[in-house]
Structure formats: structure tokens, C-alpha cells
Structure 1
Amino acid sequence: MVSLTFLSILIILIPGFCFETKNFARYNIPNACCHSYTRRQIPYSRVVDFYETSSFCLKSSIIFITNQGRQVCANPRNEWVQVYIFRLKQKEKTKEYPSYINHFYKNVELSPPEEYDF
């Protein structure tokens, strides 16, 4: 009787362990979390990109990547941080803009003006 109970529990638990490992891979485990913020504003000319820390981190933060490859933690509530994020997003949109223009002219079977030389 004991072995039958043990066998039934084992049959129930084994599939659960298999599914747990597959589901665990879906979770976004943070690669970087900030424990403190920079005290000084970094020059915008040195910033090339940014990303937000994971929601699993204790502090919500923005991590700026500099042109030297360093990562700097910043408080997302600071005004200069919000301005940098806005400017970096705008810069990214302007990089995408020429491809939209080129796509438009290809779809309407026209050639783009000479000023848009792609």
C-alpha cells in the first residue's frame, strides 16, 4: 500500500518538474540591477544608448551606455534622464525615417528625389 501511494505521488510530480524547467526559461531574470544612481549628470555627447532595468530589480533604473562601453545607472525620475531618453528615442526614429521614404517610393513606383539619395 505504501509503495502504491509513493508511486502515484511520483507519477504526479515528475511531469510537474519537466514543465517547471520549460517555464523557468521564459522568465526575464535581470542581467543588471542598479543599487545606486550616479550623482552627476553625464554629458549627452558620451551617451550612445540606454535600457531599463528589469522589473525584478529592487530599484527601477535607466542604464546609459557610453561611447566607451561603460554602463551608468541613473534615476528615471531625474529630468535630465528623461530628456536623454527622449533624445535617444528621437535619434532612433530619424534613423528609421529614410527607410520609410524609400519604401514609400518603391510602392508607388516613383524614384525618390535627388535630395534623398539612399
Structure 2
Amino acid sequence: SQVLSWAPGTMIPLKMLVLVMLLLGASLQVTHAARGTNVGRECCLEYFKGAIPLRRLKMWYRTSRECPKEAIVLVTVQDKPICSDPKDMRVKRAIRYLKSMKDPGLQES
């Protein structure tokens, strides 16, 4: 078997080098594809449990359906995301608040 030397004192069998390069190439393609499916949005792994500062919120969105946990992301005026439980009454109240700010004529109860 052929031996390739990268640096003095370092020898790697050519078959091993080819195998490592193939595995590295395959893993890079897998990670690239995984990122593409979520279209730039992040997944929430746990929910925020504190008080939600309504007047400090500017927008909200749902996480991707590919995420393991369903979540609503509330975004503050300082662009800080707050991962929230969509079933939580405080989160529903925050969404109603944001919708009313978008269209002051629309009041949901």
C-alpha cells in the first residue's frame, strides 16, 4: 500500500486519506442540506417561563414545522427572540396585542 507524508514524521496510508476525505465531503453535504430545510429560522428547544413584556414586543412568528417542538417566537424591539409555548395564555395575549398594534381598528377578544 502507498504511504503519503504530509509533514516530517507523519505518514498516512493513501487509502485512509481517501476514506477520510470522502467522509468529510459527505458530512458537509448533510449539514448544508439540514440548514436549507429550515429556511433561516431557528428551532426552540425550550420555552421562556418568565413574564412577557408586551410593550417591548415588535413582532412574532411560528417556528418551522420541521422543528421538533412547536413554538411561537416573540421578538423584542431590541431584536431578542423569546421562545414561547403557543398554548400559554400569556403568549396568546401577546399575539393579540401585536395584532392590535398592527391594525388599531381590529380588536380581538
TM-score bracket relative to the smaller structure: 0.5 to 0.7
Structure 1: any 5+ residue segments left out of the alignment? Answer: 1-23, 97-118
Counterpart in the other structure of 2:94: 84
What is the CA distance between 1:95 and its match in structure 2?
Answer: 8.0
TM-score w.r.t. length of structure 1: 0.53
Q: What corresponds to 1:29 in structure 2?
A: 38
Unaligned ranges ≥5, structure 2: 1-32
1:42 Cα deviation after fit = 2.0
Q: Tell me by how many angstroms 1:94 deviates.
A: 2.7
TM-score of the pair, normalised by structure 2 = 0.57
Larger proportion of helix = 1
Q: Within 1, Cα distance between the matches of 2:47 and 2:38?
A: 21
- Match of 2:81? 71
| CA RMSD, Structure 1 to Structure 2 (Å) | 2.3
Higher strand share: 2
Per the TM alignment, residue 86 of structure 1 is displaced from its structure 2 partner at its CA by 1.1
Distance of aligned partners of 1:95 and 1:66 in 2 relative to their CA distance in 1, 3 Å threshold: farther
Residue 75 of structure 1 aligns with an amino acid whose one-letter code is D
Asked if the contact 1:28/1:54 (under 8 Å) is kept, the reply is: no
Name the structure 2 match of 1:53. Answer: 63
Deviation readout 1:93-117 (Å, 9 max, x if unpaired): 2389xxxxxxxxxxxxxxxxxxxxx
Q: Supply the distance in 2 between the matched residues of 1:28 and 1:90 (Cα, whole angstroms).
A: 32
Identity of counterpart residues, as a percentage?
Answer: 28
